[in-house]
Amino acid sequence: MNNTAENLKETPAAESSTELTMEAVEKQLATLQSRIDVLDKKATEPKVSMIVFSGDLDKVLASFVIATGSVAMGMECVMFFTFWGTPVLRDKKKSVGGKDMMGKMFGTMLPKGTGDVKLSKMNMGGMGTTMMKSLMKKKNVASLEEMLALAEELGVKIYVCEMSMDLMGFKREEMIQYDGLEFCGVAKFLAEAHNSRIQLFI
């Protein structure tokens, strides 16, 4: 500040208005600072928020490719599994009792974990999915199981929609063991999406 004032005084024309200008400048600076503080609070983070709505092999795989890729790019990633995406996170080895009739029906009809999910197109009674899986192996594309493990290792957070769980009669005890898996509602997603630079619905 002092330096600027001295510099200004060197030019005779500016001399008379120096005091006034300094005051005005300081006032403007304070206004700007407060506006920057507001903007800082609104600023988005380098984060990807994803809704995984689908429970198809191809779409879930794409979700995990983006999730792991985003961490590699130096971003954070949170995935929200809802509706048909929810059963993908069931653990094949776990089974729980105490479900009502509808819960049992959903439990039987919906896939139990990553190994059960089918292609959204060309499934052909499971033949297409089997062919795609062997093709993926041949072409060295990571399987859904491998992608899930990689996502966990990279610190991708997974949130599971509590409402979908309840609707389909899934219990927390039948979900996979995943570091960073939590159960939540829509507000959690919106809060994350609000601060994220990228939001996807898959």
Partner 1 sequence: MADGINVTKVFDLKGLACPMPVVKVSKGIKEVQVGEVIEAHTTDPGALTDFPAWANTSGNKIVKTDQDGDVIKFYIERVV
Q: What is the binding site for partner 1 (CB under 8 A)?
A: 65, 68-69, 71-75, 139-142, 150, 154
Tell me the closest approach of the beta carbon of residue 44 to partner 1, in angstroms.
Answer: 15
Contacts of 182 (CB under 8 A, 6+ apart): 157, 158, 159, 160, 188
Tell me the closest approach of the beta carbon of residue 34 to partner 1, in angstroms.
Answer: 30
Tell me the closest approach of the beta carbon of residue 167 to partner 1, in angstroms.
Answer: 32
Instruction: Name the residue among 6, 38, 10, 36 with its Cα closest to residue 22.
Output: 6
Instruction: Name the residue among 40, 81, 39, 74 with its Cα closest to residue 175.
Output: 81
User: Considering beta carbons, is residue 91 or 152 the nearer one to partner 1?
Assistant: 152
User: Considering beta carbons, is residue 69 or 185 the nearer one to partner 1?
Assistant: 69
Helical axes 127-138 vs 57-72, angle rounded to 10°: 30
User: Considering beta carbons, is residue 123 or 143 the nearer one to partner 1?
Assistant: 143
Rounded to whole angstroms, how far apart are CA atoms 95 and 171?
Answer: 9
Do 160 and 181 touch, CB atoms closer than 8 A?
Answer: yes
Tell me the closest approach of the beta carbon of residue 81 to partner 1, in angstroms.
Answer: 19
Tell me the closest approach of the beta carbon of residue 66 to partner 1, in angstroms.
Answer: 8
User: Considering beta carbons, is residue 22 or 75 the nearer one to partner 1?
Assistant: 75
User: Considering beta carbons, is residue 35 or 197 the nearer one to partner 1?
Assistant: 197
> 129 forms bridges with which residues in the sheet?
none
